[in-house]
A = this chain, B = another copy of it.
């Protein structure tokens, strides 16, 4: 198994860093750490019309590139060191480009992508979904695990399940993680018709049981996103399908991703 951790080394990415290392350790996976030297930062002076500049543009660009490269090296060294200390196999990657493009390219070779909810562009008080995370979530061919800033060791899992294609994929992905992690999965099925919700929950429970994963079912009516958010504690991994329609993330997934107190696993 290959876990890709995308980090900009910021305060906001710390939860993702710790979670990825913990998962790598627990699942005996290879950890690939990716730092993207954001091409937008390097190219800004060329794209804007500053009028008269006292520093020549080529020099400014060179300095910026050097600074970003050094920053990336320091971050990768720090993470490589802590990961190797617990016996993890680590691969460090630094690349220049648009962050979401570079992350998506490397995600193709990973089994799971882990990243923070937002990056350094936002202040520490920002709690929403950053633009890189949003773009990656809408296009990743592999499951994405979005971590909040604060990391609490995983102790349980919650699955939002409505039998849709992306929900089925979320179920299968979560089962493969919950088994080696020993997590109990609470299946949450929400529908105005309790028979429909009950049938969905039972379907997921049967699959989990078959895979050797402990599960229990919750059959509810109302708003799925609100239920999932109310049930999740900081140590619960919350998994759900995140379908994309006309380039926009489904409303339940988007709402959950913006407001979850713990890590969220989405599969398209």
Is A45 an interface residue when CB atoms closer than 8 A count as contact?
A: no
A37 to chain B minimum Cβ distance, whole angstroms, is: 20
Q: Is the CB of B169 within 8 A of A206?
A: no
With a 10 A CB-CB cut-off, give which of A141, A165, A171, A172 has the most chain B CB atoms.
A141
Q: Interface 1/0s, chain A 157-189, versus B by CB < 8 A?
A: 000000101101101100000000000000000
- Of residues 188 through 205 on chain A, the ones whose CB sits less than 8 Å from some CB of chain B are 203
Q: Is the CB of A30 within 8 A of B169?
A: no
Is A109 an interface residue when CB atoms closer than 8 A count as contact?
A: yes
Is A2 an interface residue when CB atoms closer than 8 A count as contact?
A: yes
Contact partner, A141, options B30, B168, B206, B211, Cβ 8 Å: B168
Is A111 an interface residue when CB atoms closer than 8 A count as contact?
A: yes
Total copies of this chain within the assembly: 2
Q: When chains A and B are docked, how far (Å) is the Cα of A109 from the Cα of B2? A: 25
Q: Is the CB of B109 within 8 A of A210?
A: yes
A159 to chain B minimum Cβ distance, whole angstroms, is: 13
- The size bracket of the interface on A is 20 to 34
Contact partner, A207, options B109, B163, B166, B210, Cβ 8 Å: B109
Q: Which residue of B lies closest to A172 (CB)?
A: B111
Q: Which residue of B lies closest to A168 (CB)?
A: B141
Contact partner, A210, options B30, B165, B166, B211, Cβ 8 Å: B30
Q: Which residue of B lies closest to A140 (CB)?
A: B165
Q: Is the CB of A172 within 8 A of B30?
A: no
Q: When chains A and B are docked, how far (Å) is the Cα of A202 from the Cα of B168? A: 30
Q: When chains A and B are docked, how far (Å) is the Cα of A166 from the Cα of B30? A: 23
Contact partner, A206, options B109, B139, B142, B166, Cβ 8 Å: B109
Q: Which residue of B lies closest to A169 (CB)?
A: B141
What 5 A-B pairs come out closest when comparing CB atoms?
A141-B168, A141-B165, A109-B207, A108-B168, A2-B210
Known: A109-B210, A139-B165, A141-B165. 5 other contacts (CB 8 A): A2-B210, A108-B207, A111-B172, A141-B166, A141-B169
Which positions in A face B, CB cutoff 8 Å?
Answer: 2, 30, 108-109, 111, 139, 141-142, 163, 165-166, 168-169, 171-172, 203, 206-207, 210-211
